[in-house]
Chain A
Amino acid sequence: MNQPVAPNPIPLDASYRKTPKWRKHIWGYLFLLPAAVIFIMFLWVPIVKGMFYSFYDIDFVKGNTFVGFDNYRTVFDDGDVWIAVKNTLYYMFLCIVIGFWVPILFAIAISELRRFQGFVRVAAYLPNVVPAVVLYGLWRWFYDPVGPINGFLTQTGAESISFLTDRAWSMISLVLMETWQQFGSAMLIYLAAVLSIPKDWYEAAEIDGAGIFRRIWHITLPSIRGLILLLFLLQLIGTSQGFQSQLALLDGGPNKATLTYALLIVKYATAKLDYGVASALGVLMFLVLGGLAVLQYRLNNKGGAGV
């Protein structure tokens, strides 16, 4: 509580003082009750159930049977799991190489715009509000062998690229598409931070003879370092769970080139109806990502983000 507690203006009478603690706070707890019930029913129970189910063979008709570590054995024997892990790491890597620095760069550039800054912000954020399904339909056409990008490439004399069907390109194409859609929100967050840097710092640096790039390097970037770190971590956590565009555009193909770990979980559940193995995969993922989550938690507390 960061509210300064005002001295109670009402003199407490004896009967009030005697009220048991629980009674005084009954409304406070009643207000919390629905949320607590819902959090337990729809978050904690599934999480615990997941761990539980990973040791069971789930059958909707015959009922569940305990199978010990069989599901985990299936996971480790399945060659696809290693392909999926590798693909996920590759996807995370590409998202950083292609997508991570773009919003930082544009935030700094846009902060220097004197006119049309509002318009540029809106334009940069606009793809964010395009629904995912529209995004898929649109970019499937863009990446088409006879779509606009290849049209442009062949007109300029370059070779056309099969963005989606070429194994070397498929993941890159997805990351480009997602960067197009998502960079705006990160950019706005960085922009707010860049704009809040006191202007006299630049003034002082300039008087000391620092050039433009040294000002950016020694003032702008260090000031938003905490934010960069936090967004980096959030991106790692987010991309490590990515599967929707891989599923929607390519269904993990061509030849498993975009089969990510989370997509494998989904496929075990929806295609093979093997919910036990899917739960086991989830538990394993939880163990790996737990480390990242702890880091995020500590960073969040340091940054004073309120949690």
Chain B
Amino acid sequence: MKKGFERGILSSYDYKKKGNWIGFSMMIVVVAAMVASMLYPILSALFNGFKANTEVNSFPPRFLPSEWHFGNWGEAWSYIELPQFLKNTLMIFGGNMVVTVLVLGMAAFSLSKLNVPYQKGIYFFFMITLFIPPSTYLIPNFLNLRDLGLLNSFAAFWLPAGASAFFLLLLKNFFDGIHYEMIEAARIDGASDWQTFIRIAVPLSIPIFATLAIFVFSTAWNEWFWPSLVMHSDSKYPLATAIYKYVISARRLDLNIRFAILSMVMLPPIVIFLLFQKFIMRGLHIGGVKG
């Protein structure tokens, strides 16, 4: 018998009991309240960006603007050099992505398909770093970059991007799912290992690269503390660090303009998330709990 929906914890029989209905409705109310409390702050940030400054400061605050001031966004755009900082963020994102795909992609391909001797030990050497808490070597990491002379350069982000055991794990798990026969077939056709990687493995891995891209993008977009340590000039700060320095810590900045800037920074990741939900959810599942 095919029902309208598969049963969950509750069966269709449970729905018929009155007491359960009350409980179920209460649960729905709680979930609805949760949804509202998730959306309310985000929307109020957005709407505050369109209010007159006096209205943002009025007490008690209102949710919707009584008058829409679209000019706030223009003022916000020119308050700091957003395009410059945006460019820096994108530079970091692009470089990190290239390094991740090439360096970790090759390593994961080798571990997954090339059967080198001592593979287990090598894999362990990479994976064990997942278990070392990053805060414990935060400062030595900074000193190391300094010793290498990489401070205040984009290379300080690009090169270490290849040192992510988590991404290596994601890629290796994905390559493990590629059938060995494909690799074998390429070999028979005379492809070298490099050609197999570039012509077979990489094109097949576009979905996992998309998932990775979202992770890498969100790190590049969000990270504010580490860049503030490593970079020390306006021409190098990524967006998040610049916002922290010049907007969050600013004393004399009207609240409505502040919210307009924050909305500008918040909207791109939200839009990307809504567009690429599928990849993000997949990433959560593959990554399991390591995200």
Contacts and interface: CB of A to CB of B under 8 A. Distances in A.
A209 to B, nearest CB: 12
Contacts of B8: 111-112, 199, 202
A130 B165 CA distance: 25
A90 interface: no
Interface in A1-34: 1-6, 9-10, 21, 25, 27-29, 31-32, 34
Given A28-B193, A293-B133, A39 B13 contact: no
B9 A202 contact: yes
B265 interface: yes
A151 B169 contact: no
Contacts of B258: 137
Interface stretch (A76-84, A162-170, A281-289): A281-289
A35 B107 contact: yes
B110 A199 contact: no
A67 interface: no
B22 interface: no
Contacts of B111: 32
Contacts of A4: 180
Contacts of B199: none
A228 B92 CA distance: 35
Contact of B27 (A29, A44, A49, A112): A112
A292 B221 CA distance: 30
Interface string B1-31: 0000111111101100000100110011011
B61 A147 contact: yes
Interface string B94-135: 000001001110110111001111010010011101111111
Contact of B285 (A138, A192, A275): A192
Contact of B290 (A114, A286, A305): A305
A34 B114 contact: no
Contact of B139 (A2, A219, A241, A278): A278
B158 to A, nearest CB: 10
Given A31-B193, A126-B42, A180-B37, A132 B143 contact: no
A98 interface: no
A129 B115 contact: no
Interface string B181-201: 100100010001110010000
Interface residues of A, number: 115
Most buried by A among B9, B31, B103, B109: B9
Contact of A206 (B11, B129, B144, B222): B11
Contacts of A42: 141, 144, 159-160, 162-163
Interface residues of B, number: 115
A253 interface: no
A141 interface: yes
A192 to B, nearest CB: 6
B289 A34 contact: no
A132 B114 contact: no
Interface in A188-205: 188-189, 192, 199, 202-203
B41 A138 contact: yes
B7 A203 contact: yes
A95 interface: no
Contact of A38 (B162, B273, B274, B291): B162
B240 A133 contact: yes
A47 interface: yes
A97 interface: no
A307 interface: yes
A49 B138 CA distance: 11
27 contacts: A1-B115, A6-B181, A25-B116, A28-B110, A28-B114, A28-B193, A32-B110, A35-B168, A39-B129, A42-B159, A47-B132, A47-B140, A49-B147, A60-B146, A130-B42, A131-B240, A133-B224, A137-B262, A138-B262, A139-B41, A188-B281, A189-B284, A192-B285, A206-B13, A227-B289, A265-B139, A275-B139
Interface of B: 5-11, 13-14, 20, 23-24, 27-28, 30-31, 34-35, 37-39, 41-42, 44-45, 48, 57, 59-61, 99, 102-104, 106-107, 109-111, 114-117, 119, 122, 125-127, 129-144, 146-148, 159-160, 162-163, 165, 168-169, 173, 176, 180-181, 184, 188, 192-194, 197, 218, 221-222, 224-225, 229, 240, 243-244, 247-248, 255, 258-259, 262, 265-266, 269-270, 272-274, 277, 280-281, 284-285, 288-291
Of all A-B residue pairs in the complex, the 7 with the closest CB atoms, nearest first, are: A151-B60, A50-B140, A35-B107, A28-B116, A28-B114, A31-B110, A241-B135
